[in-house]
Structure 1
Amino acid sequence: MPSNFDLRLQHLEDNIKQDQDLLKEYEDALRYEDDPRRKAKYTREIKQLRESANGYQKEYDELQMQITGEPTAQMKNVAIQLQQINTRIDRLSAGQKAIYENINHLRKGLLDRYNAGEQNIIAAITEQLDQSQMFMISTVLDAIETDQVTEREMQLIFQGIQQSITKLQQNGNALPASQAALAEIINAPGLDFKHRLKVGIPLIPFILDYEGELELGTGINLKAALQALMMRFKGK
């Protein structure tokens, strides 16, 4: 009959193996995940795995104190597994930290382009965007601000934003408060056209999502226009 020591060690080894499998799932999910809310959920899960790993280390240390001679092969194997899972969590946490630092840098850069009254609205919107979406917005804004976009292209993008919003409203889909607030600004006739366009750019990721889900069919291929613009601007 297995001793209490053997049962504790086997239980510890099984738990570490389960968390290693779970960590692999999180690593794979984060590699392809775009939704910032789901990314945040995975980050919280990884933090919990860190706490579990700390508990496993404490359990291992207690078991090790009971050994008087050479550690068994199983003890050595558990030690290796503990080292591996801690290394993987460290690497994943460092990668996530770097991503969030870059996202925060992009977010600050975006907000600095707008006036104080607009920043609060746009800040709420950028919290829902991932790194690639904010990079796209920054690239388009750079192109507009440095006169790399023709008047015709700006008109097409602006019309695409306006028509998509109108189509959504006609379909009975209410925009979230922050998006609705930006929609009011871009439709304000007294504002400079280029400024209205710049205010509307952060709405584009949401509009593209709506187009995919609701098939808005506005007649203007906003996604293609943006891709062409980004490809041209990237090459300069």
Structure 2
Amino acid sequence: MEPSNLTRRLKDLEDNIKKDFALLKDYEDALRDEDDPRRKGKYNRAIEQLRESANRYQQEYDQLHQQITGEPTVQMQSVAIQLQQMNSRLYRLSAGQKAIYENINHLRQGLLAYYDAGEKNIIFAITERLNESQITTISALLDAIESNKVSDAEMQNILPSIQEGLSILQQRGVTFPGSQGEIVEVINAPQMDFKHRLKVAVPIIPFILDYEGELELGTGINLKEALKQFMARPRLIGG
């Protein structure tokens, strides 16, 4: 290969690596501050595309390196360093995301432990969409319900709000993950134990809160405020 062609290809490769490295840092910063699972998924997919690009850059660099006789040029060494930095950052990010995923998965399994096998099948897909904070909050509420730390009067206040919010979402064509028909059937089944119905309904709260400003629930119960009050009570955390 002509030296000028080699220099130009290396320059293009170097520019592409710099641009992707800057993007990677931006995505990493955004991902660190993001709680929404959907946007997190978007950033993770973008990072995966950068990982694929880094693999292509490495292959191109290796091909160019084979065409050089003698010692690597300063330009070749510079590109090699940038590739190493990008690969190292991708590796650290991957390791960090794996640790986060394992922690969230552990929390999710703890949440699902409140349900029997049939109920787990109904709400599993919903729990997959909850972030760490939501899982922690819902688990605390489930523990309070299971431990009879939420009174019958309180339960009978919050379930109608969930039912109404869900009904409005259905009317507007909004769906949430999971077996929606089965969930609605359980929540609205008057012959079933009230506590049982509320336990199945609780994981839906975050999805209803996403539309809180638009719903204007006729029950007069503010779900977000009710949830805050539940979590603020020492007896939900202690005993």
TM-score by length of 1: 0.85
Q: 1:46 is aligned with what amino acid?
A: I
Aligned-residue offset at 1:186: 1.6
* 1:35 aligned residue: 36
Determine if contact 1:160/1:218 at 8 Å carries over to the other structure. Answer: yes
Instruction: State yes or no: 1:90 paired with 2:91.
Output: yes
Describe the shift of the 1:84–1:218 C-alpha distance in structure 2 as closer, same or farther (beyond 3 A): farther
Distance 1:86 1:217 in 2: 54
Where structure 2 has 5 or more consecutive residues not aligned to the other structure, the ranges are: none
Aligned-residue offset at 1:188: 1.0
Q: 1:14 is aligned with what amino acid?
A: D
Q: How does 1:1-236 map to 2 (within 5 A)?
A: 3-168=4-169, 172-174=171-173, 176=175, 178-216=179-217, 218-233=219-234, 236=238
Describe the shift of the 1:11–1:31 C-alpha distance in structure 2 as closer, same or farther (beyond 3 A): same
Tell me whether 56-65 or 8-17 shows the greater mean CA deviation: 56-65
Q: 1:10 is aligned with what amino acid?
A: K
Distance 1:148 1:216 in 2: 25
Aligned-residue offset at 1:211: 1.5
Describe the shift of the 1:56–1:174 C-alpha distance in structure 2 as closer, same or farther (beyond 3 A): closer
Aligned-residue offset at 1:153: 2.7
**CA shift digits 1:72-126 (9 cap, x unpaired):** 3332322221111111111211122222222322332333322232222201222
SS of residue matched to 2:26: helix
Where structure 1 has 5 or more consecutive residues not aligned to the other structure, the ranges are: none
Distance 1:192 1:175 in 2: 27
Determine if contact 2:155/2:198 at 8 Å carries over to the other structure. Answer: yes
Determine if contact 1:12/1:56 at 8 Å carries over to the other structure. Answer: yes
Distance 1:137 1:10 in 2: 52
Aligned length: 234
Distance 1:132 1:179 in 2: 23
Distance 1:207 1:180 in 2: 16
Q: Percent identity between the aligned chains? A: 65
Q: 2:164 is aligned with what amino acid?
A: Q
Distance 1:226 1:161 in 2: 12
Distance 2:218 2:77 in 1: 62
Distance 2:214 2:222 in 1: 15
Distance 1:74 1:146 in 2: 66
Determine if contact 1:179/1:203 at 8 Å carries over to the other structure. Answer: no
SS of residue matched to 2:191: coil
